[in-house]
Amino acid sequence: MSNTRDAYVKKMKAKLDEWNAEIAGLEAEAKQKQADIQERYNEQIEVLKTIRKSTEEELDNLRQAGESAWKELRAGFENAAGSLKYAIQSAQSKLKQ
């Protein structure tokens, strides 16, 4: 793996870890809410977990890609990561209302 790709994968893995912590925070908040509000949290969390899984798969594809293909796969990962980031922000906003 090239130094550039290795550094990029490491940086994006750290970002995923950050987003995982935000999702875990929402899960912790959900446990403290009343049943009707807790259901709203759980629905949002399930959506986030689905998007997170897709993003993690894109990162794995990037990590395993050959030298010539990784730059092309990077765009797919960046789209998935952007979707996850937006979904987390949206969920946090909706649930704080």
pLDDT at 2: 67
CA angle 41, 77, 59 (to 5 degrees): 85
DSSP string of 7-49? HHHHHHHHHHHHHHHHHHHHHHHHHTS-HHHHHHHHHHHHHHH
pLDDT at 75: 85
Q: Which domain range does residue 12 map to?
A: 3-96
First-to-last C-alpha distance (Å) of the chain: 45
The whole-angstrom separation of Cα 2 and Cα 92 is 36
Domain total in the chain: 1
Q: What is the per-residue pLDDT across 28-41, written as a single tens digit (0 to 9) for each?
A: 988 888 887 888 88
